[in-house]
Chain A
Amino acid sequence: GDSVTQMEGPVTLSEEAFLTINCTYTATGYPSLFWYVQYPGEGLQLLLKATKADDKGSNKGFEATYRNETTSVHLEKGSVQVSDSAVYFCALGLRSGANSKLTFGKGITLSVRP
């Protein structure tokens, strides 16, 4: 079945450090890939998406590229801020069909210290 594997956490960085969060996937067909963020005490919200191979999603300084050849969609940010402290989830979804479901990774907690 479809699955998503995220790097183990938690991750602690100093402000303005470079961030990479690894995510690889296994899927039948051609999934769409998503990064969701969960701030403390809140629900998940979409951070960015990449819906086909070589697509680059970006938002709030975060970027992720859909790499079909390595089945990965690593999340990157050049300079993190304290306000980026949150839990980050990688997810994949079927591109079409009645079963529009997301498969989530376990999530990784990012803490950014001043």
Chain B
Amino acid sequence: NAGVTQTPKFRILKIGQSMTLQCTQDMNHNYMYWYRQDPGMGLKLIYYSVGAGITDKGEVPNGYNVSRSTTEDFPLRLELAAPSQTSVYFCASLFGASYNEQFFGPGTRLTVL
């Protein structure tokens, strides 16, 4: 199993540009998550999904959109990039009950200039 994979690893955007961060997991996990990690701030939940076709907002959803058309994929869309979205983005997945382990991808480092 590859686990949770994310692409790209790095990206620089100009203000106002859009992009999609890709996330794929091959563990047949029903739950998937997007977090952002800012220096000294821990991880903040952006969006999550409990299964294909179901998504919900997390703590910091503004400026982002998600979709979950399949169990495997959970892309994160930035429509109008802003400098405040400069961060490291992590995708994670989990199977079943909440006291199981969340598996994280390697992250995407995004800079908006």
Task: Determine if A46 and B102 form an interchain contact, defined as CB atoms under 8 angstroms apart.
Answer: yes
Hey, which chain B residues are within 8 Å of A100, CB to CB? 31, 50, 94, 97-98
Chain A interface, DSSP helix/strand/loop, else mixed:
loop
Other-chain residue from A42, A95, A99, A101 in contact with B99 (beta carbon distance below 8 A): A95
Hey, which chain B residues are within 8 Å of A49, CB to CB? 99, 101
- The chain A residues found within 8 Å of chain B, CB to CB, are 32, 34, 42-46, 49, 51, 89, 93-102, 104-107
Task: Determine if A32 and B42 form an interchain contact, defined as CB atoms under 8 angstroms apart.
Answer: no
Hey, which chain B residues are within 8 Å of A95, CB to CB? 97-99
- The chain B residues found within 8 Å of chain A, CB to CB, are 4, 31, 33, 40-43, 45, 48, 50, 56, 58, 90, 92, 94, 97-99, 101-102, 104-107
Within the assembled complex, what's the spacing in Å between the Cα atoms of A31 and B75? 29
Assess A89 versus B43: contact at CB under 8 Å? Given A43-B107, A98-B50: yes
Hey, which chain B residues are within 8 Å of A106, CB to CB? 40-42
Task: Determine if A96 and B104 form an interchain contact, defined as CB atoms under 8 angstroms apart.
Answer: no
Task: Determine if B40 and A44 form an interchain contact, defined as CB atoms under 8 angstroms apart.
Answer: no
* 23 contacting pairs across A/B (C-beta < 8 A): A32-B99, A42-B106, A42-B107, A43-B4, A43-B105, A44-B102, A46-B102, A49-B99, A49-B101, A51-B99, A93-B99, A95-B99, A96-B98, A100-B98, A101-B33, A101-B48, A101-B58, A102-B45, A102-B102, A104-B43, A105-B42, A106-B40, A107-B40
Within the assembled complex, what's the spacing in Å between the Cα atoms of A51 and B101? 11
Within the assembled complex, what's the spacing in Å between the Cα atoms of A60 and B41? 26
